[in-house]
Copies of this chain bind each other. A is one copy, B any other.
Amino acid sequence: MRISQLAAATEVPVATIKYYLREKLLHDGVLTSATQARYDDSHVRRLKLIRALIGTAGLSVSATREVLLGLENPPESGHDLLGIAHHAVSRTAPDDADLSSAQELLDRWGWGAETCDRDTQAALVKALHGLSEAGFEAPAALLDRYATAMQDIAEADVESVPTDSAEAAMRHVVLGTLLMEPVLLAMRRLAQQSASFRRFGGTETSRQSGTE
């Protein structure tokens, strides 16, 4: 398979494929001469994965590279791979941040604070800080309800990891983590719309979009 065919098969422009090759997101094809290389199904799959990570999950190119690297060189522990996936989505500032408020919440929810990485805790603190800066104080009861729901989902996530192959497990954890996030958010919005309609009703002008 030549590069133009790879492009056709994935609907990714040739120039973009070359860019991904340069950026080491996509492994090189097998050179058959100085100006010709052969690509195969693995490239097709990889490209689709790249596009899903960048397009669907919204990762940056460099975060995508790290995730793919992690998938190829899996750490000894699945827990560490999860860390790689989480690290890829956490666009947190370098350091500091007072994690004590996070620790308290984690304790309250029974999630061992020591099993959770600092970046993710910092992300929570930052998100909550953003809320309060905007003058929105989330009641503890609401947060607890969120926590319960998230714990349920996380358990479903972890349970659904296949145990037969380590390879498959890795893939499942990473993709399930990253690619399910947009699904989750879309579902929340739909559920909100449904709940808000039941609660408040709507006008005739509701539900229209794209007129702007």
Using a CB–CB cutoff of 8 Å, the interface residues on chain A facing chain B are 45, 48-49, 51-53, 55-57, 75-80, 82-83, 86-87, 89-90, 94-95, 106, 109-112, 114-121, 123-124, 126-131, 133-136, 138-139, 142-143, 145-161, 171-173, 175-177, 179-197, 199-203, 205-210
Q: Which residue of B lies closest to A173 (CB)?
A: B196
Q: Which residue of B lies closest to A133 (CB)?
A: B48
CA of A53 to CA of B136, assembled, Å: 12
CA of A90 to CA of B58, assembled, Å: 12
Contact A188 B154 (CB under 8 A): yes
CA of A154 to CA of B57, assembled, Å: 22
CA of A166 to CA of B89, assembled, Å: 36
CA of A129 to CA of B52, assembled, Å: 9
CB contact under 8 A between A49 and B191, given known A118-B210, A158-B199, A210-B118: no
Q: Which residues of B contact A187 (CB under 8 A)?
A: 124, 146-147, 150
CB contact under 8 A between A202 and B115, given known A134-B52, A146-B153: yes
Contact A193 B127 (CB under 8 A): no
Q: How far is the CB of A181 from chain B (nearest CB, A)?
A: 6
CA of A173 to CA of B49, assembled, Å: 35
Q: Which residue of B lies closest to A159 (CB)?
A: B199
Contact B111 A191 (CB under 8 A): yes
CB contact under 8 A between A131 and B183, given known A111-B190, A158-B192: yes
CB contact under 8 A between A56 and B130, given known A79-B197, A149-B150, A189-B86: yes
Q: Which residue of B lies closest to A52 (CB)?
A: B134
CA of A212 to CA of B116, assembled, Å: 18
Q: Which residue of B lies closest to A102 (CB)?
A: B190
Q: Which residues of B contact A183 (CB under 8 A)?
A: 124, 127-128, 131, 138, 143, 146
